[in-house]
Amino acid sequence: MAVKLKLTRLGSKKHPFYRVVAANNETARDGRPLEFLGYYNPMTNPPEVKLNAEKIKEWLDRGAKPTDTVRSLLKEHM
């Protein structure tokens, strides 16, 4: 089973809010995640990001691959 760290979209139309989750590679974008790892709110200035560094490190050590967007969030905020 390949695991990815990716974003799931919440919020309403034109007001996105994202959760950072660990999910199976084959699940849909908003499908059931394995674990919630934080959130990203691009609508505030500056964008609000809260990540659980311990859980993210555990998933990365287990072999999870972050998507490009999550990778850039990790570089900026960890």
Output the pLDDT for position 17: 95
CB atoms within 10 A of CB 20: 27
Residue 30 has pLDDT above 90, yes or no: no
Output phi, psi for 11, to 5 deg.
90, -175
Output the pLDDT for position 31: 85
Q: Identify which of 32, 30, 25 has the alpha carbon closest to the alpha carbon of residue 7.
A: 30
Output the pLDDT for position 10: 93
Q: What is the CATH T-level fold of the domain 3-77, as seen in this structure?
A: S16 Ribosomal Protein; Chain: A; (3.30.1320)
Note the pTM of the prediction, 2 decimals: 0.88
Which residue(s) pair with 45 in the sheet? none
Residue 1 has pLDDT above 70, yes or no: no
41 token code pair = 């709110």
Mean pLDDT, residues 27-45 taken together: 91
Residue 74 has pLDDT above 90, yes or no: yes
